[in-house]
Amino acid sequence: MGTGCISVDAREAGEGTLDVSITDPNGQPLTCEVATDVEGAYGISYIPTVPGMHRVDIYFHGQPVAGKPLTVFLQVLITICLNGICLNGTKSNWWL
């Protein structure tokens, strides 16, 4: 499956730390990486291993972002092969 990406803009929230946990539909935690794009703007990447509803909990300075978890539904797995080169990807829908 492809890499999932989430952007968080916390530039107007002041100083703090961003913590993220992502859980797959089977309740298994996924490894995710948080990178700072610019001060206060973050990019979160993860690699889903199964299709279905994934729960994303994002906290800024210990407080939940948007007051509840974000869910991401990975509904279509796509594999395209051409001349022995294969690309894998997903189609995602987002709900708050």
84 backbone dihedrals φ, ψ, rounded to 5°: 80, 0
What's the mean per-residue pLDDT of the chain?
77
Domain 4-95 is found in CATH 2.40.10.120 = no
As a whole number of angstroms, the distance between CA 74 and CA 52 comes to: 5
Convert the pLDDT of each residue in 85-95 to its tens digit: 666 555 554 44
Model confidence pLDDT, tens digit, residues 44-86: 888 888 888 889 898 888 888 866 788 887 655 556 666 566 6
Q: Provide the whole-model pTM.
A: 0.70
DSSP class of residue 61 equals: T
What is the predicted pLDDT for the residue at 28?
A: 94
Per residue in 26-52, pLDDT tens?
999 998 888 887 788 888 888 888 888
Which DSSP state fits 62?
T
**How do the domains of the chain map onto residue ranges?**
4-95
Task: Count Cβ atoms below 10 Å from residue 40 Cβ, excluding itself.
Answer: 17
